[in-house]
Structure 1
Amino acid sequence: MDVLSRHTPATNGTTTQVPTPVHRPRRLRISPAMRDLVRETRLTPAQLIAPIFVRHGHNLRNPIASMPGQYQMSPDQAAREARELAALGIRAVLLFGIPAHKDPCGSENADPAGIVPQAIQAIKAEVPGMVVISDMCFCEYTDHGHCGVLNTPTRDDFQPQLGEGYLLNDPTLALLAEASIVHARAGADIIAPSGMIDGMVAAIRSALDAAGLSHTAIMSYAAKYASGFYGPFRDAAESPPQFGDRSQYQMDPANAREALREVDLDVAEGADILMVKPALAYLDIIRQVRDRHTLPLAAYQVSGEYSMVKAAALQGWLDEQRIALEMLTAIRRAGADMIITYWAREAAEWLG
């Protein structure tokens, strides 16, 4: 008799052979303790990075309508938030600044008294051990909402062939280098350039090293796509482009090989940590980058990924906790070592 078979009485009184499995994966799913014992992918608060939006003022905690549970905070409130996050086991925050004024070159980004340097210092004073990451871009600071210097007829280096409004790459690199030094001197542990400007990692690394800041790390938004998932963020950071979109410098969502080339370039330029953004719609890119490189890999679970689940949960259509943790686990399973997520606080509470 086949060893996979057993004699089983049939309904008509005769005996029939019914194949039964020897390999039973369900044995390892029989209880919560068993499932936890064999779990392949772990999610912990220490793997989460909490974004914080900071603006000038005192004791401000302004709700963001399109991102329930998220706020624009003054530096003192950002420091309080960091303390509470640390108590939950979260070890890193990512800062986005909303300036007091905007201009064509986003000058407040390089001001030592600007909003992000203020917030860095406040957080470091409150929670010295917190890893503070400074998002390094200009879209929040410029009056046009683009991520750097624009090609305009008023500039001495105007290039008619590029057309008015084109983002100028190399002049933007100079601004990124200047602002990165300011934020690092304020105490940022990591500079995170996010504009997809060619050569941004090399320019920032060179500037930091020349300024005696070689200990400051760079987390590069190495593969950042021109995504429709960013909508709520632009409300939160008050940074929508005043014309056009950012497709001339952020990546085409259809391209995967190009993402690997972008990542390779940032590795060669000295990035310490790589990032893929967004996360959920780009799990394949996360996996390909993980398989290709050994550097730590971050993934950014962006505002649209957060807000769409929040909205459905508020309608009673989804179990928010279950969905959020499932999404975060999927991002880790794809290969991310750390996740930037607006669920950081809630996820840490759920996991605790």
Structure 2
Amino acid sequence: MADIYEIAAEVKEALAEGRAVVALESTLVAQGLPWPANLETAQGAEAAVRAAGATPATIAVVAGRIRVGLSALELEHLARAGTFLKAGRRDLSQAVARRLDAATTVSATLWIARGQGIGVMATGGLGGVHREAATTFDVSNDLDELARADGALVVCSGIKSILDMPATLDALETRGVPVVGYQTSELPAFLTRSSGLALEARVESADEAAALVHAHRALRLPAAVILTQPVPEADALDAGAMDDALASALAEARHQRISGKAVTPFLLDRIRQATEGRGLRANQALILANARLAGDVAVALAASEDFHHGKHGQHGTKSK
């Protein structure tokens, strides 16, 4: 089944030499942001990783082949096509067997990245427990994949504020997933800077974050480490405006009976409209900031660890 995977030459070379690599998920490009902002953001995220001294590896499925690292033309196709399946981990076999194009969520990106020895990834906001999950049972597969992604580091801006953030934070604690604040002691709320939920662990620098991840790996503790960074202050949404926009978007989603995978992109699109583009700017800014931070931590990890010739965890994560 080796022909299922296609690893970009620069990614393969970086891994072989033990240099820093950062995985980037692709649903934020295919479904999360509108054209052409999605392409600009994807290009900017890759540039931010490179500026940190690491190699970016945007992950997607193209015509049934799992791609780890995309060319400029492939990245544009991902952003422009509008036909990519939104694929979590459970959807990968279908995408491969049917030779589909698919953009990978956090759960699918983590699974693929770890299998190829990439232990650091960046995203925007995490999935989790949806509001009204007590009756709908709508809980993102991201949570279970984070719980099994032993030794991985995921850099994000907290939990998407369209979700039940307290319940999601509790679910992560139950699964033993450490959530660490980057220069903050409160959980960031995606497009706004704080959720009001306290975090028990905090680091002040990329080196401190790398030391924490190194200790997590050395102890062979299960689960990924989540490093949460608030959206840049200049681009953050006002909490009141966000609450108003979200309440309206949720009411419309219920009225239209939007469910499943369609909920998140629908709500984010309505929030962008309600905030007259400020939500889009905040989303773009946090994605770029997270990519840069992931690159910085990946470089610090590569300098302090040599996992390249060994395997870590049940799924074979090899750190850079």
Q: Shorter-chain TM-score: which interval?
A: 0.3 to 0.5
With a CA cutoff of 8 Å and minimum separation of 6, indicate the structure with the bigger relative contact order. 2
Higher helix share: 2
Report the TM-score when normalising by structure 2: 0.34
Higher strand share: 1
Mark the structure with the bigger radius of gyration. Answer: 1
Report the TM-score when normalising by structure 1: 0.31
